[in-house]
Amino acid sequence: MFTRREFVAAGLAGAGAVGSGIALAEGLTGQGARASDRPADVVLKPQQINHPVLSGITTKGMMSYAPAGPAPVLRMKQGEAFAADLINGLDEATTIHWHGLRIPNAVDGVPFLTQPYVYKGERFRYAFTPPDAGTFWYHPHCNTLEQMGRGLTGLLIIEEPEDPGFDQDLALNLRDFRLGDDGQFIRQFKPRLAARGGTLGTVMTANWRVEPRYEVSSGGLLRLRLAATDVTRVYRISVIEEDTQAAADVRVIALDANPVPVPFPLEVYPIGAGQRMDLAIRLPREEGKILRIETQSGAGPRVLATLITRGPDLGRSFAELKPLPPNPVLEPDLANATTLPFTFSWSAEKSGMESICGTLGYSFWAINRVPWPGDVPDPGGPLAELKQGQSYIFRLINETPNSHPIHLHGMSFKLLRSNKRKLMPLVSDTALLLPNEHMEVALVADNPGDWVFHCHVIEHQKSGLTGYVRVV
């Protein structure tokens, strides 16, 4: 199945895991070593394609993990081994990162830190067993503004062992593209905006379509999975009944893949770049009713997608759903936790760093005063060294007037408190820091290796708002 060269390349996954020998061992225990012998569950080939995002106009130079249309929605089962082969069909280096998955460091997909670059024509195997259920996504961690901006973002659904009882499951990959009037890509960012909130796209899409409509069963229970894979936007989600203009019968059941402590009715809820939200929707009983999935923007509500009911009334109710079981994330020991401050600020430093993974040429941002674009050799070691098995409180200090969805690889944390608002005790991989907000989150450092910690507004990430923590 593997030629010798490919086998060597797969072996290099471990060799490239700088400073994380334990992760290498773990990555190859059982699943990893064996996974090399079997065919991949999926082959993902990033490549340039042409695709009509705007009806009747072909956008050239989009990027997908499939030869036509958006990246496939990957489905796997919690606790079951999975293997994907990346075959690079791009003219530049790439990798795949599995956003939100608590898997071994050697398959985390960060060039330099956890694996070698995967150059044009090369293959790399990612084998892991997903420990958590929920809505996740995958994307490159190399030249990310360009590669993600052109379409390389895919959804990943990890099913609970027991079916919670929905009639339908619909996943929407929410993202904007920066296209000109002619439907072709324009420059991905403006430096002036990168130094502020980030540069928004010009065309809002769901599953690469503008306001797609989906048929759903009248009176049924729909699980709607929303993933903000955009490089910039904070979505403010609501679901509106077209007839009444009122909020539809919707409960938020999970955020960032983890079930919420108590499902709550959706009015408007923000999800920043990288975040996900699972909704349970009790659909209207009559046929032909329309629900609008909207985001609030500065210019008022914008429709992302619509649902229309079809067929006879299924007569379902929320009470028939099984609650989602919590994921097996360890509870931090707050009484014995060490507090680590992380300050997110503007940076005055000039960027001189060149990167195979593309550089924006600017350093606007920094963590603990050090700017780093995240995919070039690091400027001075990890932001912090954590002892495996110990509990930590991360004090996230946003010194800027902008929002930052702050994301940690490899481990999930629990939201504790904020100086600005009351927080639900959510378990998450991405915390949306509001302007000037100070937030504390806690975790057990249970996954050894070097884990990137960055803002998911990709311009911020690529102009300094990146660091990593080391778990030993």
Point out which residues bind ligand C2O (CB under 6 A): 97, 99, 139, 141, 274, 407, 409, 452, 454, 456
Task: Decide if residue 457 touches Cu ion (CB under 5 A).
Answer: yes
Task: Decide if residue 460 touches Cu ion (CB under 5 A).
Answer: yes
Q: Give 36 or 147: the residue with its C-beta nearer to ligand C2O.
A: 147
Q: What is the 3-state secondary structure (H, E, C) of 241-307?
A: ECCCCCECCEEEEEECCEEEEEEEECCCEEECCCCEEEEEEECCCCCCCEEEEEEEECCEEEEEEEE
3-state secondary structure of 31: helix
Task: Decide if residue 454 touches Cu ion (CB under 5 A).
Answer: no
144 alpha-carbon distance from chain centroid: 13
3-state secondary structure of 34: helix
CA nearest 225: which of 289, 303, 159? Answer: 159
Task: Decide if residue 141 touches Cu ion (CB under 5 A).
Answer: no
Q: Give 294 or 375: the residue with its C-beta nearer to ligand C2O.
A: 375
Q: From the CB of 234, what's the least distance to Cu ion, in Å?
A: 10
Which residues touch 400 (CB under 8 Å, ≥6 apart)? 344, 345, 346, 365, 435, 436
DSSP letter at 94? B
Task: Decide if residue 233 touches Cu ion (CB under 5 A).
Answer: no
Which one of Cu ion, ligand C2O, none is in contact with 274 (Cβ closer than 5 to 8 A by kind)?
A: ligand C2O
Which one of ligand C2O, Cu ion, none is in contact with 452 (Cβ closer than 5 to 8 A by kind)?
A: ligand C2O
* Beta strand 338-346 pairing with 391-398: parallel
* Pairwise CA distance, residues 121 & 241, whole Å: 48
3-state secondary structure of 75: strand
**Site size with Cu ion, rule: CB under 5 A:** 6
Q: CB–CB of 326/196 below 8 Å?
A: no
* Pairwise CA distance, residues 395 & 97, whole Å: 25
Torsion over CA: 16, 19, 23, 25 (sign): positive
Which one of ligand C2O, Cu ion, none is in contact with 457 (Cβ closer than 5 to 8 A by kind)?
A: Cu ion
Q: From the CB of 162, what's the least distance to ligand C2O, in Å?
A: 28
Site track for Cu ion across 345-384, x = CB under 5 A:
----------------------------------------
Q: Give 256 or 278: the residue with its C-beta nearer to ligand C2O.
A: 256
Beta strands in 95-234 (DSSP E): 97-99, 123-128, 134-139, 154-159, 168-177, 203-206, 213-217, 221-228
With CB under 5 A as the contact rule, the residue among 118, 279, 357, 455 that binds Cu ion is: 455
Q: From the CB of 109, what's the least distance to ligand C2O, in Å?
A: 8
Interacting stretch for Cu ion, rule CB under 5 A, among 65-73, 263-271, 278-286, 398-406?
398-406
Q: From the CB of 392, what's the least distance to ligand C2O, in Å?
A: 19
Interacting stretch for Cu ion, rule CB under 5 A, among 14-22, 82-90, 99-107, 442-450?
99-107
Task: Decide if residue 99 touches Cu ion (CB under 5 A).
Answer: yes
3-state secondary structure of 204: strand
Which one of ligand C2O, Cu ion, none is in contact with 441 (Cβ closer than 5 to 8 A by kind)?
A: none
Interacting residues toward Cu ion by CB under 5 A: 99, 404, 409, 455, 457, 460
